[in-house]
Amino acid sequence: MATPARLRRAAPISTRRIAWEIALTALMIGVTLAACALFARDTLRLGDAAGEGEDRVRLLAFVAVVGLLVYGNLVYQVARLGYLLRRLRHHPPAFEDLVASRWEAAPPVAVLVPSYKEDLRTIRQTLLSAALQHYPNRRVVLLLDDPPHPADREDAARLAAARRVPAEVEALLRVPAARVERGAAAFADRVRRGVVDPRGDLRALLEVYSDLTTWFARLADQVDGAPRADHTDAFFADATVRAHRRLLWQSARRLTRELVLGGLGAEAIAREYRRLGDLFRVEVTAFERKRYANLAHEPNKAANLNSYMGLLGRRARETRGADGLHLVPRPPGEYGAGDLVVPDATYVLTLDADSLLAPDYTLRLVDILERPGNERLAVVQTPYTAVPGPSGTLERIAGATTDMQYVVHQGFTWCGATFWVGANALLRKVALDDIRTEEVERGHRVDRFIQDRTVIEDTESTVDLIARGWRLHNYPERLAHSATPPDFGSLLIQRRRWANGGLLILPKLLRYAWRGPRHRATPLELLMRLHYLGSLFAGSVGLLALLFLPLEEGFGSVWLPVTAAPYFLLYGRDLRQAGYRRGDLLRVYAFNMLLLPVHLAGVAKSLQQAVTGAKTPFGRTPKVEGRTAAPAWAVLAEYLLLAYCLTAAGWDALAGRWLHALFSLGTAAALAYAVVAFVGTRASWEDLRAGWRGLGLGVPEPARRLWASDGARD
């Protein structure tokens, strides 16, 4: 049996290297704190000299801004320290050991994949990644959220094709499943006839393994040979298909060693056949909540998930009501022909429609939840990593920031401040039941497991869980990947949504922190959680204040840049260790400046909701081919900010404020690069013209273009 190609991964870091990084991080935290103390000393002297006038007010504002930014720097460094310590102590069990200990008594897992007008290729890859999990007791459900009766022909054709994907995945898996069934039936017949041969039966089993690895190899070749839309196709072939082949090859190699030792007994061989059968025996189905008038119709992912979660373990029948078709759960013990039967699940795995999982993802996370002492563990996840290898500059740098957030989230777990990040979380169903509420929507009672008051529903649900004594955990390996937005239009939708809601959740977090000594958060946990909820607001306002505050030269301190230097040093090292380029640190800075108006727009939406009480519409990140047009206001804001930075640099130079002039000029250079490289000059002007024609009130919508954004590729 030939050795399959290994999945391409970043080179592992040695224990000695991790220990060095831990020491360096601790040193940089010390340098930052020392620089802050010396900066505070210099600032106090400036305050005494400033008197009580306008200079003192500006100085206080400047100190507040610097304090917010340094707070963020320290959070990153502490999180990095925690991530490295967890990585040093992480000794995962071998895959074969997990199979031996967990396979036979694996609790049921429901894998839920919400989808709204997604690209068919994306849906197919995610469903196949979920269906081929090396876990025996699983069921995959595509939660289609498209309008069930679209008037548009293209939408109708896409929905019809999406409805067929689950059956297509099942049909694909029936081929290897049939091969396993033939081998298992032949073995069972030999056992029945009493002609068991430990060596001969093991050889027959190895032939089945050989055929299955060949099937995976052919499937990978088909994926490689198909017209390739982007880099996710190549990664899917490696991370899903060839990774499964490699696991089977490893098992076959173990069995080959048993053959040399004399073969296996009948029970061991039967167990191997059961395992192989479980791998390909999986139900893949679809559900559409919008077909039923009595289910939640709120236009967001949380409502889509809630509608199906409320059906787990129940039977329901379709009835016709005055307002349309209803899905009515039956009382326990009652059933009828044609009922919708939804099997119960101990755990629920929620995926985004573009998630790609390692083959052992579910098995490893269930192992964590099933360990003694983890009965109050509600959520286990691995924060997703960007799919490697994008050709566009924007997608690559957006992926870099995602990969750095992975470091932060892993460090949060060390601090006891894990947040549920939604894209690929394994949830304990009894914990969901614990935070379940009932609401009335359009006259119908609907279940709410995941709160959708804000558009960052998983973040608010985190606070609900910890307030009830549940814990969350990030598994310290990169086992899940997801695509990042390839253009400014889709990026804007995603990042504006991320910036919207944190301020609304802050009061709930503070109530949790101070409600009593038994459940009170530790200071470190609270600092981390506060930063997570308020960082986009604080960082955006802080950067904006630095740009707009006309600071005099006397406000400077030699220790101010030293407070930021350790952060940039460590961030740059993390980028390099994740496989990015040296110059990408500057590109990340330009990327963050580009997002400044986007984050402020998200914060403004939060404030609007806080004042009016009107729920913010959920903005889904488009996962379709072609460029997503950006609204004119966003593009115009980038050009206005660029113009202001250039103007401010000139004013500062004329006034002799050389440090602020250099800062404004550097920011202008970063923004200019970002507009050209990330937005594209041609694309930006096209969006501005479209906004002018529409009075500038455009909303981001997927727009297919015959050309790519200028400057969007390296």
- pLDDT tens for 214-238 read 999 999 988 888 777 678 899 999 9
pLDDT at position 52: 64
Categorize the per-residue pLDDT at 499 as very low, low, confident or very high, splitting at 50, 70 and 90.
confident
Same domain, 103 and 163: yes
**Are residues 548 and 584 both part of a single domain?**
yes
Is 232 or 408 the better-scoring residue by pLDDT?
A: 408
637 part of a folded domain: yes
The pLDDT confidence band at residue 698, using thresholds 50, 70 and 90, is very low
* Alpha helices (H) in 90-151, listed in sequence order: 95-102, 120-131
pLDDT at 555: 60
Q: In the prediction, which pLDDT does 694 show?
A: 62
Residue 48's pLDDT is what? 64
37 in a domain, yes or no?
yes
Kindly state the average pLDDT of the residues 11-31: 91
- Backbone phi and psi for residue 311, each to the nearest 5 degrees, phi listed first: -95, -10
521 vs 234, residue with greater confidence: 234
Judgement on whether residues 302 and 438 belong to the same structural domain of the protein: yes
Q: What is the mean pLDDT of the chain?
A: 88
- What pLDDT sits at residue 516? 57
Same domain, 46 and 138: no
**Dihedral Cα 56, 58, 60, 66, nearest 10 deg:** -150
**Is the predicted pLDDT of residue 617 greater than 90, yes or no?**
no
pLDDT at 623 over 80: no
What is the domain range of residue 277?
A: 95-384+421-484
Q: Is residue 583 part of a domain?
A: yes
Q: Examine residue 409 and state whether it is found in any structural domain, yes or no.
A: no
Asked if residue 54 has pLDDT above 90, the reply is no
Residues 67 and 192 in one domain: no
Per-residue pLDDT, 16: 92
Q: Is the pLDDT of residue 25 over 60?
A: yes
User: CB-side exposure of 87: number of CA atoms within 13 Å?
Assistant: 25
pLDDT at 440: 87
Question: Residue 525: helix, strand or coil by DSSP?
Answer: helix
Instruction: Select the highest-mean-pLDDT range: 45-59, 329-343, 443-457, 468-482.
Output: 468-482
Same domain, 585 and 517: yes
Dump the DSSP string for 611-663: HH-PPPPP-PPP-SSSPBPPPHHHHHHHHHHHHHHHHHHHHHHHHT-HHHHHH
pTM above 0.75, yes or no: yes
Element (H, E) at 177: helix 153-193
The answer to whether residue 1 scores a pLDDT higher than 50 is: no
Query: Does some domain include residue 389?
Result: no
For residue 10, the model assigns a pLDDT of 46
Bridge partners, 480 (sequence order): 357
Q: Do both 70 and 193 map to the same domain?
A: no
The CATH number covering residue 116 comes to: 3.90.550.10
Q: 56 and 180, same structural domain?
A: no
Note whether 187 and 310 are same-domain residues. yes
Same domain? For 534 and 477 the reply is: no
When pLDDT is cut at 50, 70 and 90, the band that residue 712 belongs to is very low
Cβ-based neighbour number of residue 371 at 10 Å: 10
pLDDT digits (tens, 9 = 90+) for 263-318: 788 999 999 999 999 999 999 999 999 999 999 998 889 999 999 999 999 999 99
Confidence of residue 704 (pLDDT cuts 50, 70, 90): very low
Which of the listed ranges 55-64, 516-525, 596-605 does the model predict with the highest average pLDDT?
Answer: 596-605
- Identify whether 412 is part of a domain: no
pLDDT tens-digit series, residues 331-380: 887 887 789 999 999 999 999 989 999 999 999 999 999 999 999 999 99
Pairwise CA distance, residues 248 & 250, whole Å = 5
Tell me how many domains the chain contains. Answer: 2
**What is the pLDDT confidence band of residue 406, given thresholds at 50, 70 and 90?**
very high
Q: Does 701 fall in a domain?
A: no
Mean pLDDT on 698-711 = 38
Establish if 5 belongs to a structural domain. Answer: no
356, 214: one domain? yes
Alpha helices in 194-345 (DSSP H): 198-225, 231-236, 243-260, 266-280, 301-309
* pLDDT at residue 8, rounded to an integer: 36
| pLDDT band with cut points at 50, 70 and 90 for residue 554 | low
Collapsing DSSP states into helix, strand and coil, what is residue 139?
A: strand
Clarify whether residues 497 and 573 are in a common domain.
Answer: yes
Which has the higher per-residue pLDDT, 181 or 47? 181
146 neighbors 382 (Cβ within 8 angstroms) = no
Q: How far is the C-alpha of 669 from the C-alpha of 642, rounded, in Å?
A: 8
